[in-house]
Amino acid sequence: MTDQTTPRLSEDDLIARYFRPLATDPGAFRLGDDCAVLTPPAGEELVLKTDAVAAGVHFFAEDPWDLVAKKALRVNLSDLAAKGARPLGYLLALGLPADWTEPQLAAFAAGLKADQGAYGLSLLGGDTIRSPDGLIVTITVLGATPVGRMVRRGGARPGDLIYVSGTIGDAALGLKLRLDPGLKIRLGLGDREAAYLLDRYLLPRPRLALAPVLLAHANGAMDISDGLMLDVSRMARISAVDAEFDVAKVPLSKAAHAALQADPTLVETVLTGGDDYELLLTLSPEVAEAFERAAFATGLTVTQVGRISEGSGKVHARLTGGRDVAFTNAGFSHF
């Protein structure tokens, strides 16, 4: 463990130098106590989520640490967005590999700082340990919604319209390009298209601007992290309804569209790949117009892709001709 060439900071000094500046909430006590305190604002309750990302599993060991930090925070923020919640703060458990360097740690803290500013939250506390292998980052995020108002995954009702935010499949295609550098040429993708897809894998965009819109209009919602098909099926099962969606309506980026034109079998990657971090939601047709107007005002796109019907958790993905699509892989498991 000792390294004769690079003098290492003690854990206390490391925290003081890189993490204390991130602990802006008074309840974090400048990371100078064993615990933090937090009170939800009056009339609100806390919404909690913990998610871990590990080198070689959720990101590549060579990814820059500022982007790893942002990804670790954003996969958690994406869940808050889907629940209609506003972020308040987070706790960080950081497992550092034996060969960490100070520039890497400085980049990690800078990534967190930028996202704290962008999404409006504070570091509340943390723990730094030596990881037995690569970098591993566990973040627990705390948000707030009015009491009893968190948008539930199990709230979809028969007759509801199904919407998704943004575009689907970009991150899964980006991962494919990352793993197979020859694929870009074979699909005839331009540099900008390939870069777009690669970036979508590297850096989720939690749709927090839509959180208040979901809170106002959605019956059920979750974030899409393990593939649209699997996540729709989870929502249908827990809501005790069926879901029908029209594959032709699933929104695609220009780059994903180009990839699918070159190889139509990639539709499976698009619909079952992971890491979209877009929102999946259902709402009553009566509020659809108001929802679309409010969503439009955020600058983010939402697309109606299907409808909820009575049932018992089945998902029907229809091609334009009316035929059901079958997939060999129901979704991506991070596990």
Residue closer to a copy of itself, measured from CB, 150 or 177: 150
Contacts 24+ apart (CB under 8 A), 321-327: 325/247, 325/267, 325/271, 327/229, 327/268, 327/271, 327/272
Instruction: In angstroms, give the least distance from the CB of 186 to a copy of itself.
Output: 26
Residue 136 to residue 173: CA distance in whole angstroms = 24
Residue closer to a copy of itself, measured from CB, 126 or 174: 126
CA distances (Å), origin 279, targets 11, 200, 238, 260: 38, 15, 17, 22
Residue 281 to residue 308: CA distance in whole angstroms = 11
Residue closer to a copy of itself, measured from CB, 29 or 114: 29
Residue 73 to residue 12: CA distance in whole angstroms = 23
Residue 165 to residue 279: CA distance in whole angstroms = 5
Residue closer to a copy of itself, measured from CB, 167 or 233: 233
Instruction: In angstroms, give the least distance from the CB of 314 to a copy of itself.
Output: 16
Residue closer to a copy of itself, measured from CB, 95 or 169: 95
Instruction: In angstroms, give the least distance from the CB of 173 to a copy of itself.
Output: 22
Q: Which residues bind a copy of itself (CB under 8 A)?
A: 10-12, 14, 29, 32-40, 45-58, 79-80, 82-83, 85, 91-93, 95-96, 124-134, 136, 138, 140, 142-143, 145, 147, 150, 152-154, 222-223, 234, 238, 333-335
Instruction: In angstroms, give the least distance from the CB of 206 to a copy of itself.
Output: 12
CA angle 73, 49, 153 (to 5 degrees): 115
Residue type at position 131 = S
Residue closer to a copy of itself, measured from CB, 176 or 184: 176
**Tokens 């060439």, residue located:** 5
Instruction: In angstroms, give the least distance from the CB of 10 to a copy of itself.
Output: 7
Task: Tokens for 43, please give them.
Answer: 């009339």
Instruction: In angstroms, give the least distance from the CB of 322 to a copy of itself.
Output: 30
Instruction: In angstroms, give the least distance from the CB of 230 to a copy of itself.
Output: 9
**Tokens 């670790």, residue located:** 72
Instruction: In angstroms, give the least distance from the CB of 257 to a copy of itself.
Output: 29
Work out whether strand 278-283 and strand 220-224 pair parallel, antiparallel, or are unpaired.
antiparallel
Residue closer to a copy of itself, measured from CB, 107 or 142: 142
Residue closer to a copy of itself, measured from CB, 9 or 290: 9
Compute φ and ψ for 143, nearest 5 degrees.
-125, -175
Residue 185 to residue 177: CA distance in whole angstroms = 10
The overall longest dimension of the chain from CA atoms, in Å, is 68
Instruction: In angstroms, give the least distance from the CB of 27 to a copy of itself.
Output: 8
Residue closer to a copy of itself, measured from CB, 131 or 301: 131
Contacts of 107 (CB under 8 A, 6+ apart): 64, 65, 66, 69
Q: Which residues pair with 118 in a beta bridge?
A: none
